[in-house]
Structure 1
Amino acid sequence: MNTILVTTSRGLDELLKSEIETLCPGVEIKMSPGAMQFSGTLEQAYTLCLWSRLANRVIWLLNTGKAGDADALYDTASEIDWQMHLSSKHTLSVQFVGTNRAINNSQFGAVKVKDAIVDHFVEQGQPRPSVEKRQPDVPVYVRLQRETALIGIDLSGSSLHQRAYRQDTGDAPLKEHIACAMLMRSGWAQTPTAPLVDIMCGSGTIAIEAAYIARNIAPGMKREYWGFNQWLGHNPTLWDSLVDEALAAQRPAEGTIVAADISRKLIGIARKNADLAGVYDAIQFSVQDATKASPPTKSPGFVVTNPPYGERLGELTDLIPLFSAWGKRFKEAWKDWHVTLLSSNRDLLRVMKLRAAKDYAMNNGKLECRLVNYQLDDANCEQFGDEAENHEFANRLRKNLKKRKSWLKKQNTDCYRIYDADLPDYNVAIDRYADWLVVQEYAPPKTVSEDKARRRLQEVLLHLPAVTGVSSKKIALKVRSQQKGTKQYEKMAQQGNTIEVHENGATFIVNPTDYLDTGLFLDHRDTRQMVKDRAKGKDVLNLFAYTGSVSVFAAMGQARSVTTVDMSKTYLDWARQNFARNKLSGAYAFVQADCTSWLNQHDGKYDLIFIDPPSFSNSKRMQNTWDVQRDHVALITDAVACLRPAGTIIFSNNRKGFKLDNQALSALGLNVEEITSRTIPEDFVKQSPVHKCWILQL
């Protein structure tokens, strides 16, 4: 008898304990988070390696001792007679799990144990064994529990979830032992002849593991590499007999197992993996949409699946309508079935409007997930009317659209704001750009919990397509928080969704997905018209020009010349494209420079200067930091030096609480007039203006 340590993932402890008790009857198990210990035989250790569907590793413990510091750890490892387990010719590796105050780096701990092993051979006058990280002859495992180290041989060699049949996967593969835990928690594994459907099967792991269970195939049967293959304590005869018994125990599959996915590519991968696993003929493969799928059998069974979690913010725009439609389909077509779903986003599952029977904590890799069971009984299949008809946010949005209708008829634009945190609980701004919607979620105040804010956002995304008629695939989601410097222009994604929008006779390129801002500030719509009206025959300078929309209107207003200055090459190229789309050619200059230093050194003269600076910037391309409150007088002073007599500066910014230094500007000979109310479009009218604007006249 020897102490055997068996490890698993978070949330699988109780299941693994029951499995060990079934495979190794009569053992007394000591449990700790993610690990089981018991006194057992080599045959029992081999049995777990071959048959456990839930374990990660099976460790044949050699010593348990002190590890309060590096010397104590070294001594505990040195107490083992390593020549009983490997020779100098063998390769070894040390996997070290855990840290404590003295050993706060697992790599350091592994090196200390490795040193103890090789020193043992050197002290006996033998050559040092060499280290091999990939498939060593003898893998050593060390688990640190506070001041104690457990050291042994990793009989599994590599994690047991690696069944050796999965050659290809999708983007978010489900580990095989997690798939088995899902099947067990669902109740299907206790009745493996019942129909089973994985309706979002991905690479097919759940269906393949189900086929293994149905056919009583040992999950370790196809593995070739084991940590005991070269171990001196290995008993090949015993192992071979257990493998022969496992082969004899296999049985024909009964019942229906279906693997379905909307992706033909993933179904192809699942077919290939099932073929390699030897269970291709036990699974029915199908390309279908989960939101339209029907049960494959008349008798009810189990749906067990691992749907997308929506870990990335932008994914929610597609997933929320999908889960809503999926929940409705379950109610319509899957009555009396059991449904088991694994997700790290419990709120996303709530969109399905199903009452959970039970849920369990379970990790999928590093993600903390919930495994949720539903029973599609009469209560769960009750059909509800169109919730959007009575939903608070949907009603407000519908009211806004009705109110905008008459206003829009008078406008010449297809990009405008339709909602701006009108309801405190739904703290988002929603802008329409042609046939796209851009949803900007304001960072919630500290008084609102993160969970509540996320649920409210999901409700917004759920109702938007129904109320506006815009497809969920054309809804872009962004988080709007306090931005500093050029952060508002930083790239968020790489989707390349550029579209054309129209405003008062001009055409602009916008990108609804890739940046926090789209390329066109809608709140400056009226300000751009003001520039156009004043530009005829004048030399115009546009500072902090972004994508040059103000410059375009200056050119359309027949300005004599337009100079566009911005620090970003990307946005200057964008500005050039905007000019090209509007077929503008003439005395138009595009300058890549730090506007503050360029203006300070510039001696050109302009009749009209438009300045809309950021609130703050510490960009590496700037010589100094920029703060609009602190530095606006210096900036405007430099601008005045470039202004012709009777010239005009239009100055705007959106910093909350900004105060223009009227006294300092008057001393420059400027007549200061605030025109904020005249520059706020009707779709941006709020109690607190989105920006402030002044005309500064020499």
Structure 2
Amino acid sequence: MNQYLAVTSNGLENLLVEELTQLGITNAKPVQAGVKFKATNEQIYRCCLWSRLASRFVRVLSEFTCMDDMDLYLSTTAVNWVNQFHSTKRFVVDFNGTNNEIRNSQYGAMKVKDAVVDCFEKKSLPRPSISKENPDIRIHVRLHRDKAILGVDMVGSGLHQRGYRPESGRAPLRETLAAAILLRSGWDATKPFLDPMCGSGTLVIEAAMMAANMAPGVKRQKWCFESLEDFEPELWAEVKAEANVQGRRGVKKVECKFFGYDNDERMIKTARDNARRAGVEELIEFEVGDAAKLKRPTEFTDGVIVSNPPYGERLGTEPGLIALYTAFGAQLKAEFGGCNASIFSSSDELLSCLRMRADKQFKLNNGALPCHQKNYSISDRPMSERPTGEQEQLIAPDFANRLKKNIGKIGKWAKKEQLDCYRIYDADLPEYNVAIDVYPGHLVIQEYAAPKDVPEDKAKRRLTDIIRASIQVTGVEANNVVLKVRQKQKGRSQYQKMAQDSSNLEVNEYGVKLIVNLHDYLDTGLFLDHKITRRRIGEMASGKDFLNLFAYTGSASVHAAVGGARSTTTVDMSNTYLEWAKENMELNGRVGRQHQFVQADCLQWLAKEQGSYDLIFIDPPTFSNSKRMDQSFDVQRDHIQLMEDLKRLLREEGTIVFSNNKRHFKMDMEGLEELGLKAQNISSKTLPLDFSRNKHIHNCWLITHK
């Protein structure tokens, strides 16, 4: 007998012990991420062919203390490699781990390679060659602190590569992990099985192979143990033949039904191809179907639903996923009473959207990603008789009721004012710390950073509840709910896209048409708190020359043009926003040389500009770096310098509309007076109803010559 190490994922060791015991191993002992045992050649051949959980099997040749590279070299040369494989075989070293002295796995692999080659040369044998691409032999080294395990890999490529899925195909789960999920799901292999989001079919194919008692490795073409000196080809042929016979017979004996659905027709085709290669195509019914509208198949009596739904990788995907999980949970409860379900996901928050109480739960890793598997018993009682947690009810009722109240009041006002875009919630309740804006058929939810004393998991759960409740209360489609995270913008990051796809939307504001983009940027292109300011500018602009500084997407310029301005000059540092401003102007039929767009640092441009204007709107950042200033621009510190520059451009009867977002901004009245200017605070008059709960969102001033 030889000593072996079966390698698996953390957390699956005990499951693997059970599996090896069923395969005839009597001395299996779990270790971290593996199981140690002794086996004959026949036993190890069976383990390699039949294990669904192990990622590989290693014949352990040496375990030793490894303090440095000399320990590694000497311990490797102590192994009689000539007895393991012939010098004509090509090999590679897989070295995993480091310690204080061996800090690089490539260096460790090189030392082992040198030691192996030296063993052959010392016996006057040819040096075996190295092949990283297609080796016959894989030497396995695992180093942890000062302990090392040295051996030969029995399998080659990982055992998750069953042979039915081309490596170019996308698979959300490794087959070994899929098998673990199935074993932990509580599924009885004689019962019907359904995966409503099957993707390339990994879970349902593995389930069908289990039910048919098919060896998972029977389709593999190459095994490293075939290149070892003690390989017994007749014995291996016998083990394989036995497995092939069992598989063919098993497929014919299967009586339960298997179903695989996915909303992507291409994935269903891939899944069918994979099932055909696996030899279980006749057992599985694949269909294009939406898990959010899942119906119970006629043949599905008391089976199990096992699935690995999608999870979000990119900011903004959460609303759609929350809606998917919510609808999926509702369909499970409505259609599959008396059945069981086991759902695997990286997000505990998304699993909570199922609105089901788990009987059991497990923690597993999908690669490096921590995941949860939860098993549910679905009640067969009518929905009205089920526990409250399973019935449809108002989500986050305090938040939902506040949202309803705000919509009733603000929605009516917005309709009267001809406003497509308005805010319906702005952190009204401290524990639900978001702002929610309405756009035609859309919601934009802006998440404010949670206080440091709020645990991350609690903040995630609240955000999930906010999104679910917002969809429930407003009736907006989940795919039209956009999630953004408010954060400080540095440098040119404020001009960068959040995504590559363009998604423009035309909106109406007091009769002016404007373009917003809800997805591609942190902001949408329209600051909603300034809607009354823009309307006021339109009312003041008739027959006047208008200047808009720090213009963003030029919405104030458009209001001025629609209001009858003689000319508009729109200045911003971002060419992206200036192009946007031009589109806004053209959308309202205002084109011509009287409408100028200037890309420039506004503070530098101010210092050089020689023109004069009747009406100037300036809404500078609270703080920014600028070449004009020695170090930076601070609106509180530098607003008098700014007014001095603006005064030079302001005609005798002209007006400056000055706004900023600095909380507790204090106008330097004495400084203004010294410049010959006077200011009127109109902040309260420019605060729209939808921002009345946030009186410090901006401050606004009318500044004129004395």
Q: TM-score range by the shorter chain?
A: over 0.9
In 2, distance between residues paired with 1:395 and 1:571?
Answer: 38
Aligned equivalent of 2:257 = 256
Secondary structure (helix, strand or coil) at the match of 2:219 reads coil
Aligned equivalent of 2:364 = 362
In 1, distance between residues paired with 2:382 and 2:93?
Answer: 51
Write the letter of the residue equivalent to 2:11. G
Secondary structure (helix, strand or coil) at the match of 2:444 reads strand
**1:353–1:228 Cα change, 3 Å:** same
Q: Deviations over 1:482-501 (max 9, x none)?
A: 44455444321233221100
In 2, distance between residues paired with 1:430 and 1:598?
Answer: 36
Aligned equivalent of 1:212 = 209
Query: Would you say the 8 A contact 1:485–1:619 is kept in 2?
Result: no
Query: Would you say the 8 A contact 1:344–1:367 is kept in 2?
Result: yes
Query: Would you say the 8 A contact 1:484–1:616 is kept in 2?
Result: no
Q: Deviations over 1:251-276 (max 9, x none)?
A: 22221111122222221111111111
Does 2:414 correspond to 1:411?
no
Aligned equivalent of 1:69 = 68
Of the three residues 220, 232, 249, the one matched with 1:235 is 232
Which residues of 2 match residues 122-521 of structure 1 at below 5 A? 128-167=127-166, 173-188=172-187, 191-250=188-247, 251=250, 252=252, 253-292=254-293, 293-297=295-299, 299-377=301-379, 382-383=385-386, 386-388=392-394, 391-521=397-527
Secondary structure (helix, strand or coil) at the match of 2:343 reads strand
Write the letter of the residue equivalent to 2:675. L
In 1, distance between residues paired with 2:142 and 2:218?
Answer: 27
**1:621–1:581 Cα change, 3 Å:** farther
How far off is 1:612 after superposition? 1.6
How far off is 1:80 after superposition? 2.6
Secondary structure (helix, strand or coil) at the match of 1:49 reads helix
Q: Deviations over 1:294-343 (max 9, x none)?
A: 14425311111111223444222112222222222222221111111101
Secondary structure (helix, strand or coil) at the match of 1:294 reads coil
Aligned equivalent of 1:81 = 80
How far off is 1:2 after superposition? 2.0
Aligned equivalent of 1:7 = 7
Aligned equivalent of 1:114 = 113
Write the letter of the residue equivalent to 1:224. Q
In 2, distance between residues paired with 1:415 and 1:2?
Answer: 73
Query: Would you say the 8 A contact 2:495–2:576 is kept in 1?
Result: no
**1:125–1:396 Cα change, 3 Å:** same
Write the letter of the residue equivalent to 1:553. H
Which residues of 2 match residues 35-114 of structure 1 at below 5 A? 35-114=34-113
Secondary structure (helix, strand or coil) at the match of 1:590 reads strand
Aligned equivalent of 2:583 = 577
Write the letter of the residue equivalent to 2:224. G
Query: Would you say the 8 A contact 2:687–2:695 is kept in 1?
Result: no
- Bigger shift: residues 379-388 or 674-683: 379-388
Aligned equivalent of 2:555 = 549
5+ residue gaps, structure 1, are: none
TM-score normalised by the chain length of structure 2: 0.92
How far off is 1:660 after superposition? 4.1
Write the letter of the residue equivalent to 1:684. F
**1:72–1:610 Cα change, 3 Å:** farther
Q: What is the aligned length?
A: 695
Secondary structure (helix, strand or coil) at the match of 2:614 reads strand
- Bigger shift: residues 200-209 or 131-140: 131-140
**1:124–1:631 Cα change, 3 Å:** farther
Aligned equivalent of 1:683 = 690
How far off is 1:685 after superposition? 1.0
Q: Deviations over 1:36-83 (max 9, x none)?
A: 122323333222211110011111122222222333333333333333
In 1, distance between residues paired with 2:56 and 2:480?
Answer: 46
Q: Deviations over 1:122-168 (max 9, x none)?
A: 55666654433223221121111221111211112111111111137
How far off is 1:33 after superposition? 2.1
**1:133–1:641 Cα change, 3 Å:** farther
Query: Would you say the 8 A contact 2:396–2:466 is kept in 1?
Result: no
Aligned equivalent of 1:638 = 645
Aligned equivalent of 1:609 = 616
How far off is 1:99 after superposition? 2.6
Q: Deviations over 1:468-517 (max 9, x none)?
A: 22211211111123444554443212332211000112111111112111
How far off is 1:348 after superposition? 1.4
In 2, distance between residues paired with 1:96 and 1:318?
Answer: 42
How far off is 1:169 after superposition? 8.1
In 2, distance between residues paired with 1:205 and 1:5?
Answer: 26
**1:208–1:584 Cα change, 3 Å:** same
In 2, distance between residues paired with 1:560 and 1:430?
Answer: 37
In 1, distance between residues paired with 2:40 and 2:140?
Answer: 19
- Bigger shift: residues 506-515 or 648-657: 648-657
Query: Would you say the 8 A contact 1:260–1:286 is kept in 2?
Result: yes
- Bigger shift: residues 470-479 or 652-661: 652-661
**1:412–1:298 Cα change, 3 Å:** closer
How far off is 1:356 after superposition? 0.6
Q: Deviations over 1:177-207 (max 9, x none)?
A: 111111111122xx31111111111111111
In 2, distance between residues paired with 1:125 and 1:634?
Answer: 87
**1:274–1:675 Cα change, 3 Å:** same
**1:634–1:54 Cα change, 3 Å:** farther
**1:386–1:64 Cα change, 3 Å:** closer
- Bigger shift: residues 445-454 or 51-60: 445-454
Write the letter of the residue equivalent to 2:355. K
Q: Deviations over 1:229-272 (max 9, x none)?
A: 43344333332221112112222222111112222222111111
In 1, distance between residues paired with 2:52 and 2:646?
Answer: 73
- Bigger shift: residues 529-538 or 351-360: 529-538
In 1, distance between residues paired with 2:626 and 2:81?
Answer: 58
In 1, distance between residues paired with 2:338 and 2:465?
Answer: 28
CA-based RMSD: 2.6
Write the letter of the residue equivalent to 2:231. H
Of the three residues 654, 673, 678, the one matched with 2:661 is 654
5+ residue gaps, structure 2, are: none
Identity %: 48
In 1, distance between residues paired with 2:575 and 2:122?
Answer: 66
How far off is 1:609 after superposition? 2.4
